[in-house]
Amino acid sequence: MATQHAIDFRPLLSTRAQIGQTARGTIASATRTVATPLYEFGGGRPDPGSFPYDDLVAATAAMMKAEGADALTYGDSLGYTGLRDLVAHKYRLFEGLEVERDNILIANGSSHALSLAISAFVDLGDPLICEAPTFSGTLATIRRHGPEVIGVPVDEQGLVTGVLRERLEGLRRAGRRCKMIYTIVNFQNPSGPTMTLSRRHELLALAQEYETIILEDDAYGELRFEGEQHPSLYALDTAGCVIRSGTLSKILGAGTRLGWLCAPKEMIPALSSFNFGGGVNPFMSRIATYYMRDHMPEHVARLVEVYRNKRDAMRRGLLETLEGIDARVNKPEGGFFLWIRLPTGTDRTRLAELAAEARVQYVPGTSFFPGGGGEEFIRLAYSYESVEKCYEGARLLGQAIRAATH
């Protein structure tokens, strides 16, 4: 009898699987700053105290009474109709934006939604432009698809469209075409700015001139604490070049795993061809719909207050301990994150050691730059911990930064 042995599957992996493993490893190694944090400021996890436990139980009972077996069988390939209508209602309620259910494709969270859009348009080796810095999770998804990733800087007004034009023109001169521009327009993750209205118009004009798709990521748009709300790129688009992603992760619960793409109707078949058969989680889609139909405005208003208080507490703790040195702490108008430029002369290895001793978790800025760099930055999430722990942990981290700076 032949000796049994496990085959080495690694030579059989597809190119994209190999790229994906490398991308995940790069992000994971960069974010593993504290093994057992007491102050979890790393990932953007929603506040657990904000979850509407009892109301979700009631919504589930009401849904099961109304829909019964339909909730437990396969669903529509584009997603539960009630949830697509709810997304359209959300846009109308918060933005005055009129869309139809035929513009909406439900996905398994916004990460899956973004992946669907990238899969539909981007091949191995294609040029794709994204912000530098940008969200590390989407950066891993982008890299897994194997494009040439080209970074464009972000300033206090958002994506720097002057540099974007240079990148697009350089590709054109080389006989190449950018397939997609990925941007986070509101409370940019990680650096925080909201793209100005003038920059939005400039971005749309460039996309039309150079005939490329814009992938607009708006996971946090409803969580605005202050400042002026601008129309989305999708709302301003007249050329049919914008795909917009959204999610319930930040305004209901990340565990719902429900997101969507909002796109021109003509694009929906191409985008849905990469989606799961039988619809995305028909059961949870119904529960979320039944709850949000009755509670969305007041629930979101409560979340805005919760996260504003956390942002302010974390900033207060940092500013109190960093006074007098040249660290910079931003003040985003919404969302989950603070972005810190470390003082000149910070020993980053020593900072990581001191933060680990204090059990304060953060993400190094290097995780967010597609072409390298970002050593002078760190990102903190104020979303998960209590107001008190945001303040306490920020003070501990501020003290660590001072001690690591020479």
| Predicted confidence (pLDDT) at residue 220 exceeds the cutoff of 90 | yes
pLDDT in tens, 232-276: 999 999 999 999 999 999 999 999 999 999 999 999 999 998 887
Upper half-sphere CA count for residue 402 (Cβ side, 13 Å)? 14
pLDDT in tens, 142-183: 999 999 999 999 999 999 999 999 999 999 999 999 999 999
For the beta carbon of residue 74, count every other beta carbon within 10 angstroms: 10
The average pLDDT across 72-100 equals 96
| Predicted confidence (pLDDT) at residue 215 exceeds the cutoff of 60 | yes
pLDDT in tens, 117-126: 999 999 999 9
Residues 346 and 401: beta-carbon distance below 8 Å = yes
CA 402, chain centre distance (Å): 30
Amino acid 399: pLDDT: 97
Percentage of residues of the chain with pLDDT beyond 70: 95
Domains of the chain by range and CATH? 34-51+300-403 (3.90.1150.10), 53-295 (3.40.640.10)
DSSP 237: -
Amino acid 338: pLDDT: 98
Amino acid 11: pLDDT: 83
119's tokens: 């899969």
Residue 201 identity (one-letter amino acid): H
SS (H, E, C) 251-295: CCCHHHCCEEEECCHHHHHHHHCCCCCCCCCHHHHHHHHHHHHHH
Residue 311, H or E segment: helix 282-322
Amino acid 27: pLDDT: 47
Residue 328 CB partners (closer than 8 Å, separation 6+)? 340, 341
Q: Is 272 exposed, middle or buried (0-12, 13-18, 19+ CB in 10 A)?
A: buried
Distance CA 326, CA 323 (A): 8
* DSSP codes, 24-51: HHHHHHHH---SS-SB--SS-PPPGGG-
Query: Please, which pLDDT band fits residue 13 given cuts at 50, 70 and 90?
Result: confident
114: closest CA among 220, 214, 20, 204?
Answer: 214
Per-residue exposure over 369-406, b if at least 16 CB sit within 10 Å of its own CB, e if not: bbeeebeebbbbbbbbbbbebbbbbbbbbbbbbbebbe
Amino acid 1: pLDDT: 55
Query: Please, which pLDDT band fits residue 7 given cuts at 50, 70 and 90?
Result: confident
Residue 93, H or E segment: helix 81-95
Query: Please, which pLDDT band fits residue 18 given cuts at 50, 70 and 90?
Result: confident
Query: Please, which pLDDT band fits residue 28 given cuts at 50, 70 and 90?
Result: very low
Distance CA 136, CA 23 (A): 10
The average pLDDT across 338-351 equals 97
Go through the chain and tell me how many residues it has. Answer: 406
